[in-house]
């Protein structure tokens, strides 16, 4: 089943390209890479300078879907175990 922008938060994020648009930590803004891991409250991103662990609750992410579509997601929506996000109801975003 292909990933569509409306269902991104219910899908696996590992393997997707990501960029940090905004963050409470200014050094993270503009960071780009591929998601290689995910926990309850963090995303692990592989960048050109190595692996970085980014807290979900302080950042706004832009994910690039396999079809090239870019989707902006507030990290607060992503908080939770990846397997539990499938069952979770989300507000329209």
Report all structural domains of the chain as residue ranges with CATH numbers, in order of start.
5-79 (2.30.30.210)
Question: Could you give the CA distance from residue 88 to residue 21 in angstroms, rounded to a whole number?
Answer: 25
Confidence (pLDDT) at 91: 60
Confidence (pLDDT) at 44: 97
Confidence (pLDDT) at 3: 83
Cβ atoms of residues 62 and 72 within 8 Å: yes
pLDDT of 45 above 60: yes
Question: 3-state secondary structure string, 31-67?
Answer: CEEEEEEECCCEEEEEECCEEEEEEHHHEEEEEECCC
| Single pTM value for the model | 0.88
């Amino acid at each position: 089943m292909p990933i569509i922008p409306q269902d991104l938060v219910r899908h696996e994020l590992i393997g997707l390209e990501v960029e940090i648009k905004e963050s409470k930590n200014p050094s993270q803004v503009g960071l780009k890479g591929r998601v290689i891991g995910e926990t309850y409250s963090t995303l692990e991103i592989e960048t050109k300078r190595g692996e970085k662990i980014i807290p979900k609750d302080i950042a706004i992410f832009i994910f690039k879907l396999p079809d090239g579509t870019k989707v902006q997601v507030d990290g607060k929506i992503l908080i939770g175990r990846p397997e539990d996000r499938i069952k979770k109801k989300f507000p329209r975003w």
